[in-house]
Amino acid sequence: MTEPLRAERTPVDVAVGVLIDPDGRFLLTSRPEGKVYAGYWEFPGGKLEAGETVEAALRRELIEELGITIGPVQPWRVEIVDYEHARVRLHFCKVFSWSGEFEMREHQQMAWNQLPVQVRPVLPGTVPVLAWFAEERGFAGPTHPET
Ligand SMILES: Nc1nc2c([nH]c(=O)n2[C@@H]2O[C@H](COP(=O)(O)OP(=O)(O)OP(=O)(O)O)[C@@H](O)[C@H]2O)c(=O)[nH]1
């Protein structure tokens, strides 16, 4: 069978949490070993399960990955990204409160960041978010290190 054109692939919905602390720092986590783009830094989250809302998926994923229970979820932006392996629709949500201690349940790493981000490499689908932060915060210059 012929591969469908990239733009025709049905997107997979992904809930992504942009956790922001009282100092305005945002949380990035590294993708665990064994996943595509292992070691790349991203905002934590994951795919919606059948019938799940973005908010429910985000709550579930952050418990599964980080051991925290999030407070109110504020939908921010939606972005479609085409990768070789998949076409994803990323639902970025801001989260300002949570409870519980952070536990790296998938042996990933976490880092609180300001602009410019110090960790590398940053996942391609994460880069636009850094640009949105730059716009919101009046930050000029590169948002992250060259890979
Ligand atoms: N979590 C997250 N995923 C992102 C971001 N940006 C981005 O392009 N993605 C993509 O969205 C998809 C999320 O899938 P995932 O593999 O993290 O989700 P999951 O935990 O449900 O995976 P699983 O199927 O291995 O259980 C990946 O294709 C990933 O590359 C981001 O900032 N955060």
How close is the Cα of 131 to the center of ligand 1, in Å?
19
List, chain by chain if needed, residues with CB within 6 Å of any ligand 1 atom.
14, 16, 35, 37, 42-47, 81, 83, 86, 88, 90, 123, 125-126
Digit-coded pLDDT (tens) for 43-67: 999 999 999 999 999 999 999 999 9
pLDDT band at 131 (very low <50, low <70, confident <90, very high): very high
- Is pLDDT above 60 for 1? no
How close is the Cα of 45 to the center of ligand 1, in Å?
6
Of the chain, the percentage scoring pLDDT greater than 90 comes to: 90
The residue nearest atom 6 of ligand 1, judged by CA position, is 125
In whole angstroms, how far apart are CA 96 and each of 16, 65, 78?
A: 14, 18, 19
Digit-coded pLDDT (tens) for 83-118: 988 999 999 999 999 999 999 999 999 999 999 999
What pLDDT is stored for residue 5 in this prediction?
63
Question: 77 — alpha (psi -120 to 50), left (phi > 0) or beta?
Answer: beta
- pTM (predicted TM-score): 0.92
Q: Rg for the chain (alpha carbons), in Å?
A: 15
- Identify the structural domains of the chain with CATH numbers, from first to last: 6-137 (3.90.79.10)
How close is the Cα of 100 to the center of ligand 1, in Å?
23
pLDDT band at 6 (very low <50, low <70, confident <90, very high): low
Cα 11 to Cα 118: distance, rounded to the nearest angstrom = 30
- ipTM of the modeled complex: 0.91
